[in-house]
Structure 1
Amino acid sequence: MPTVRSLGWSSMTVFANPVLPGMYPDPSVCRVGDTFYLANSSFEYFPGLPLHSSTDLVTWTPLGHAIDRTGQAGLLDLAGVPDSGGLYAPTLRHHDGLFFLACTVVGGAADASFFLTTTDPAGPWSDPVFLEGARGIDPTVFFHEGRVWWAGCRLVEPGAYPGQTEIWLRELDPVAGRLFGQEHILWNGAVAGAVWAEGPHLFAHDGWIYLLAAEGGTERNHAVSVARSRSVTGPYVGNPGNPILSHRQLGATASVQNVGHADLVEAGDGSWWALALGVRSRAGGHVLGRETFLAPVAWESGWPVVNPGAGRLGERGSTPFTSADAPTPAELHDTFPVGPLAAHWLGVRGPVPGAHTSAAELHLEPPAPPAPDPAGSTSAPRPATRTPAAFLGYRLRHPDVRAGLRLVLPYPGVTAGLALRQSENFGLRIELAHAPAGWTATAIARADGADTVLGSVPLDPVAPGSLLDLTAELSAAGVAFTVTVAGETRVVAVTDAALLTTERAGGFVGTVVGPFVSGEPGHPVTVTGFDYVPTASATP
Structure 2
Amino acid sequence: MLSLLCPLLLALSAAPLHAREPVLFDWFQYSGHDATFEQPLPAGSYRNPVLAGFHPDPAVVRAGDRFYLVNSSFAYFPGIPVFESRDLVHWQQVGNAIERPSQLDFDGLGMSRGVFAPTISYRDGTFYVVNTAVDNGGNFLVTAKNPAGPWSDPVWLKDIDGIDPSLFFDRDGKAYLLNNGEPEGKPRYDGHRAIWMQQFDLAQRKPVGPRKVLIDGGVDPSKNPIWIEGPHVYQREGWYYLVCAEGGTGPDHSQVVLRSRWVWGPYAPYEHNPILTQRDLDPGRANPITNAGHADLVEGLDGSWWAIFLASRNYGGVHYNTGRETYLLPVTWKDGWPTILEHGRAIPQVLAGPAFIDRKATQAPMTGNFTWRDEFDKPALDRAWMQLRVPKQPWADLTAQRGKLAIHPLAEGLDTLRNPSFLARRQQHLAFEASTSLTVPTEAGTEAGIAAFQNERYWYFLGVRRRGAGLQVFLQRSSAGEASTLATASIADAKTLKLKITADAGAYSFGFDADGKGWQWLRRDDDGTILSTDVAGGFVGAVVGPYARTETDQ
Flag whether TM exceeds 0.5 (same fold). yes
Q: Give aligned pairs, total.
A: 491
Aligned partner of residue 429 in structure 2, secondary structure: coil
In structure 1, distance between residues paired with 2:551 and 2:83: 39
**Residues 33 and 177 of structure 1: CA distance in aligned 2, closer, same or farther (over 3 Å):** closer
1:413 corresponding residue in structure 2: 445
Deviates more, 1:319-328 or 1:177-186: 319-328
Counterpart position of 1:131: 157
- Is structure 2 residue 538 aligned with structure 1 residue 511? no
CA-to-aligned-CA distance 1:444-488 (integer Å, 9 cap, x gap): 2211111132222111x214xx11001000113611100100222
Please give the per-residue CA displacement for 1:339-379, whole angstroms capped at 9, x wherever unaligned. Answer: 22222110011147311112111111122569xxxxxxxxx
Contact 1:61 1:325 (C-alpha < 8 Å) held by counterparts: no
1:38-78 deviation digits (Å, cap 9, x = unpaired): 11111110111111111221111111211111111xxx332
Letter in 1 for 2:398: T
Decide whether aligned partners of structure 1 residues 312 and 169 sit closer, same or farther in structure 2, where only a CA change above 3 A counts.
Answer: farther
Provide TM-score, normalisation by structure 2.
0.85
- Residue 48 of structure 1: which of 73, 79, 87 is its match? 79
Deviates more, 1:419-428 or 1:438-447: 438-447
The aligned residue for residue 351 of structure 2 is 317
Deviating beyond 6 angstroms after TM superposition, the runs of 4 or more aligned structure 1 residues are: none
What is the identity, as a one-letter code, of the residue corresponding to 1:356? D
SS at 1:88 equivalent:
strand
Matching residue within 312, 316, 322 for 1:288: 322
Q: Please, which moves more after superposition, 509-518 or 448-457?
A: 448-457
SS at match of 1:258: strand
- Counterparts of 1:61 and 1:333, CA distance in 2: 17
Candidates 330, 337, 340, aligned match of 1:303 = 337
Deviations 1:176-208 (A, max 9, x none): 122110110010312432221111111111111
Query: Residue in 2 aligned with 1:445?
Result: 477
Distance (Å, rounded) in 1 between the aligned partners of 2:417 and 2:336: 54
Contact 1:54 1:325 in 2 (8 A): no
- Residue of structure 1 in register with 2:511 after alignment: 482
Q: CA 1:27–1:175 in structure 2 vs 1: closer, same or farther (change >3 Å)?
A: same
After TM superposition, the structure 1 = structure 2 runs for residues 62-461 of structure 1, keeping only pairs within 5 Å, are 62-72=93-103, 76-108=104-136, 110=137, 112-144=138-170, 145-156=172-183, 158-187=186-215, 188-191=217-220, 192-254=223-285, 255-284=288-317, 285-307=319-341, 311-319=345-353, 320-323=355-358, 327-329=363-365, 330-351=370-391, 353-358=394-399, 359-367=402-410, 385=416, 389-410=420-441, 411-436=443-468, 438-459=470-491, 461=492
Instruction: Report if aligned partners of 1:366, 1:520 keep a CA contact under 8 Å in 2.
Output: no
CA contact (8 A) 1:201 1:211 kept: yes
TM-score, normalising length from structure 1? 0.87
Matched residues in 1 for 2:131 and 2:467: separation?
47
Task: Quote the offset at 1:334 in angstroms.
Answer: 0.6
Q: What displacement does 1:97 show? A: 1.6
Deviations 1:97-117, CA, capped at 9 Å, x for gaps: 211111111122x4x111111
Counterparts in 2 of 1:274 and 1:388: CA distance versus 1, 3 Å = closer
Structure 2: how far apart are the matches of 1:441 and 1:181? Answer: 63
Aligned equivalents of 1:89, 1:233: Cα separation in 2:
23
Asked if 1 retains the 8 angstrom alpha-carbon contact of 2:412 and 2:420, the reply is: no
Distance change in 2, residues 1:467/1:27 (3 Å): same
Question: Residue 130 of structure 1 contacts residue 177 of structure 1 at CA under 8 Å; is this kept in 2?
Answer: no
Q: 1:259 to 1:196 in 2, by over 3 A?
A: same
Equivalent position SS for 2:280: helix
Counterpart of 1:492 in structure 2: which amino acid?
A: L
Q: 1:516, CA displacement in angstroms?
A: 1.1
Tell me how far apart the structure 2 counterparts of residues 343 and 407 of structure 1 sit (CA, whole Å). Answer: 21
Q: Partners of 1:128 and 1:518 in 2: how far apart?
A: 32
Instruction: Give CA-to-partner distance per residue, 1:70-103, whole Å, 9 cap, x none.
Output: 111xxx3322432200111011111112111111
Does 307-316 or 345-354 show the bigger shift? 307-316
Report the CA distance shift for 1:505/1:297 in structure 2 as closer, same or farther (over 3 A): same
What SS does the aligned partner of 2:132 have?
strand
Shift of 1:306: 1.1
Q: CA deviation at 1:311?
A: 4.8
- Report percent identity of matched pairs: 37
Write the distance in 1 (CA, Å) between the matches of 2:212 and 2:506: 52
Secondary structure, counterpart of 1:248 in structure 2: coil
Note if contact 1:81-1:106 (Cα within 8 Å) is conserved in structure 2. no
Q: Contact (CA 8 Å) 1:245, 1:311: kept in 2 or not?
A: no
The residue type equivalent to 2:473 in the other structure is A
CA contact (8 A) 1:12 1:321 kept: no
Whether the aligned pair in 2 keeps the contact of 1:245 and 1:312 (CA below 8 Å) is: no
Structure 1 residue ranges without an equivalent (≥5): 1-10, 371-382, 522-540
In the alignment, what sits opposite 1:538? none
C-alpha distance in structure 2 between counterparts of 1:38 and 1:154, whole Å: 24
Task: Measure the CA separation in 2 of the matches of 1:53 and 1:182.
Answer: 35
Q: Retained in 2: the 8 A contact 1:155–1:163? A: no
Q: Could you tell me which amino acid in structure 1 is paired with residue 157 of structure 2?
A: L
